[in-house]
A and B are shown apart, each in its own frame.
Chain A
Amino acid sequence: MAEATFHVFRGDAKGGDLVTYGVPVTEGMVVLDGIHYIQAHLDGTLACRWNCKAAKCGSCSAEINGHPRLMCKTRVDDFKGEPITVRPMKAFPVIKDLVSDVSWNYRVNKQIPPFTPSPYDPGPWKMYPEDVERLFEFRKCIECFLCQDVCHVLREHDGFDRYMGPRFMVRVAALEMHPKDTLSRTDLLRGSGGIGFCNITKCCEEVCPEHIHITDNAIIPLKERMADDYFDPWRSLLRVFGKKKEPRGT
């Protein structure tokens, strides 16, 4: 049986190195299968996260031959017999082996004001297919944090205290564009959200396993909405007096 060579990062917060394993290849095998083989047959202490093995839960994020990807969606035969190097996501601190500490994301999420419909509109609501379908793209996010991992504001410039990152731009966009939401989150975006730090390089969009158009459909429209709110005197007056935000085509 053919064998694949896996170089897997082994180590913890204190440091570590690549360790090489030989893994028998089966038809249609994905990288996560290789990791599981190592766990079951070569070293039971190898740590990784996964849940669904079907690209639905966003747990198995890693950097495979330098590319941030889901291990369960990456086929071993894509590498045509070349060695496969698996490392944890670089932007977040390592806990052990392929498991990194992503708790920062959960703290950021908490700062985003939740969905807030009008108390005078109890439903059941009428919403038409065209009202909701453009939001489905954002709602598809599986929180794999791969976009966070590649965003250079976070990754290279360590901007964790300045910018929420693409995942949360997607989240805010889903809330802001919900036809029944009544809050405005533009203050947040401009302030601690740090949307201004994004310079639309689209690295995030390239790695998103859900093919969400993070910049084109979420970040740019949010930037425009913010510009409107802050530079259009009529709109900013509305904001000051706490009026319901207007539905807009973004």
Chain B
Amino acid sequence: MADWYETFEHDVLVIGAGGAGMRAAIAAVEAGLSVGLVCKSLLGKAHTVMAEGGIAAALGNVDPRDNWQAHFIDTMRGGKLINDYRMVEIFAREVPDRVYELEQWGGLFDRTPDGKILQRPFGAHTYPRACHVGDRTGLELIRTLQDKAVHSRIEVYMEVTLTWLLKDAERIAGAFGYRREDGRFVLFRAKAVILATGGWGKVYKVTSNSWECTGDGCAMAYDAGAELMDMEMVQFHPTGMVWPPGVRGILVTEAVRGEGGVLRNSLGERFMERYDPKKKELSSRDVVARSIYEEVRAGRGSPHGGAFLDITHWEPEFIKRKLPSMYEQFLKLANIDITKSPMEVAPTVHYVMGGVRVEAGTGATTVPGLFAVGEVAAGLHGANRLGGNSLGDLLVFGKRAGEHAAAYVGGLRAAPQVDEHQAEEERTLLQRPFEGDGQENPFGLHEELQEVMSTHAGIARTGEGLAQGLEKVGALQKRVEGLRVGGSRLFNPGWHACRDVRFMLTLCEAIFRSAIERQESRGAHWRLDYPNQDPQWGTLNVVVYRDGKMKATTRPVPQMPLDLARLIQQTA
């Protein structure tokens, strides 16, 4: 064995310690296996910690009419019917148990006066469904799972970035990467790998996402031969902060609208009455984001190119209790007291519905031994994710991926063997920015890429613009070979950024290819040259795969059985 890297060995390796990764690791360790859990940040700091508004689960505590069928219908319709109905059914049925389980593990939620978990309304949910703790639901979720994980036998590797999946012929055999702290290389041997690496909002400039969201897992899966699906579906959350510039993109939780916040344009009109007279501010995110965009385009935007979100009709005490971090955040960062004045908001990149294509109940990808779960996986949300449906996704499919990875390992006859050459090649790639005479700055390249994405793959798209964007990505892919950094491998952010940019370029190419392929407007994907939803496209997912180079094609959406199809029609 070579001595230029450290080696670790586990039955199951979980990459990512957000909600999805932690829940998966807990399930796999409970199945009696040896589990390694890797994350880029310190434990408990993953992107999930930022989630605010709630976990959608049809407990029926606030409105007893809510049930899994209603959750199923809302989610399918929100996703414009290109969701995998099998995932949605499993999700809607199981998420209440996962929420109660969280409570059994010490998680605490806001309560109803009669002692049950309190629920609040969210966009496009028929009944109040989001279980929450003020506006820090993600922190509660992650801390609860963290406490559970810490007292299990899970081996945690913090501040480690993995960059390459190792294979034994077709099967997964482990992963390779480096410690962020000192740049030492690490090799994990594993019989199964679960990707829980989250999304890639960082490919855009204005985003609510943390630095970790560079889509490493999705790009690694693609490199390993997995299929990516619905990559054109990038969610613009209608309400990000817009001013001052330093806070642009920071999320204003949907809970503000859930608690009665109203959107107005510069004329003071409650413009959602025009776009969705029934649900108004509580319409789905794609609709609200587009409406704000239209208002700005029509010259009725707020001073910094957005809209006003107003909750001042409530008592200050109520606002401070229900939305404490929003209150603090605006006061501290924007000098605005939201109990007295409206917030200025604009759409911000928030979530990706697309990702690695997985089997509905198990999270298995097309690569044997490779599983994907959470934001990195596709299928549950279709063309638009409803608020609160992500945190539930992490819990339901996290548990399932952990269990199915364990079952896969149990069924293996021989352990896969690691091929050291694969690691050697990746090391060469990683070290390249220290050598040679290139001049490209990774941060500069990243900024240029963000510019390309905002210009050509933003909220409103055209075929022509997308084609130009794809070309620009191609040009950046050539320049990536000239990346250079100074210093050593000791905690070197510039060096870390070099690999991230490579991953992001792969993802952006996939976004462009998929967006060009889908010639219609559906959910988050809005094509000005194909402004309508086309029923023919409603039966198709767009898939990207590698065959020498990147190719895009379509796959039929799984067809719902009659009883479920009828459920949806009845409420149409």
Contact = CB atoms under 8 A, between A and B. Distances in A.
A132 interface: yes
A203 interface: no
Given A44-B442, A56-B325, A128 B139 contact: no
Contact of B181 (A95, A110, A135): A95
Given A44-B493, A51-B210, A56-B50, A26 B441 contact: no
Contacts of A79: none
Interface stretch (B102-110, B218-226, B554-562): B102-110
Interface string A99-123: 1001000100110001101000011
B116 A124 contact: yes
B519 to A, nearest CB: 37
Contacts of B325: 54-56
A52 interface: yes
A119 B116 CA distance: 20
B22 to A, nearest CB: 14
Interface in B232-254: 243-247, 250-251
Interface string A174-203: 010010010000000000000000000000
Interface in B9-49: 41-47, 49
A140 B158 CA distance: 22
B243 A28 contact: yes
B100 A45 contact: no
Interface string B113-131: 1111100000000000000
Interface stretch (B163-171, B273-281, B326-334): B326-334
A28 B334 contact: yes
Contacts of A152: none
B153 interface: no
Contacts of A43: 486
Contact of B106 (A30, A96, A115, A140): A115
Interface string A35-74: 0000111011111111111111111000000000000010
Contacts of A39: 443, 493-494
B111 interface: yes
B138 to A, nearest CB: 8
B41 A49 contact: yes
Nearest to B243: A28
A205 interface: no
B139 A129 contact: no
Given A40-B443, A124-B100, A140 B136 contact: yes
Contacts of A142: 49, 139
Nearest to B181: A95
Nearest to B156: A106
A56 B49 contact: yes
Given A28-B333, A57-B210, A114 B108 contact: no
Contacts of B151: 110, 114
Nearest to A96: B491
B262 interface: no
B375 interface: no
Contacts of A52: 47, 49-50, 210
Contact of A129 (B113, B443, B486, B494): B113
Contacts of A57: 41, 45, 49-50, 210
Given A45-B493, A124-B100, A136-B133, A29 B211 contact: no
A126 B44 CA distance: 28
Contacts of B334: 28
Contacts of A126: 114-116
A54 B486 CA distance: 30
Interface stretch (B140-148, B187-195, B408-416): B140-148
A40 B444 contact: yes
A50 B134 contact: no
Interface residues of A, number: 59
Interface in A132-148: 132, 135-136, 139-140, 142-143
B491 A99 contact: yes
Contacts of B136: 56, 140
B497 interface: yes
Contact of B247 (A28, A41, A99, A135): A28
A1 interface: no
A51 B41 contact: yes
A241 interface: no
A125 interface: yes
A149 to B, nearest CB: 15
A135 B49 CA distance: 18
A19 B332 CA distance: 28
Nearest to B138: A56
- The winner among B47, B138, B487 for most chain A CB atoms within 10 A is B487
B113 A49 contact: no
B492 A45 contact: yes
B246 A51 contact: no
Contact of A54 (B46, B50, B441): B50
Contacts of B46: 51
B115 A136 contact: no
Q: Which of B49, B105, B243, B251 has the most CB of A within 10 A?
A: B49
A229 interface: no
A47 B492 contact: yes
Q: Which of A27, A45, A95, A102 has the most CB of B within 10 A?
A: A45
A127 interface: yes
A235 to B, nearest CB: 24
A26 B143 CA distance: 35
A96 B50 contact: no
Contacts of B487: 44-45
A57 B39 CA distance: 15
A12 interface: yes
A63 to B, nearest CB: 18
Interface string B473-500: 0000000000001110011111101000
Contacts of A50: 211
Given A45-B493, A52-B50, A124-B100, A109 B486 contact: no
A29 B492 CA distance: 24
Closest 7 CB pairs of A and B: A28-B244, A44-B494, A115-B106, A126-B115, A45-B487, A40-B443, A47-B491
22 contacts: A26-B246, A27-B245, A29-B245, A44-B441, A44-B485, A45-B487, A45-B493, A51-B210, A51-B212, A56-B49, A56-B138, A56-B139, A57-B210, A58-B45, A99-B491, A124-B100, A125-B103, A125-B115, A136-B108, A136-B133, A140-B139, A181-B106
Given A28-B333, A39-B493, A44-B487, 14 more contacts: A28-B335, A29-B245, A29-B246, A33-B246, A39-B494, A45-B487, A52-B49, A57-B49, A57-B50, A123-B103, A127-B115, A128-B115, A140-B136, A143-B44
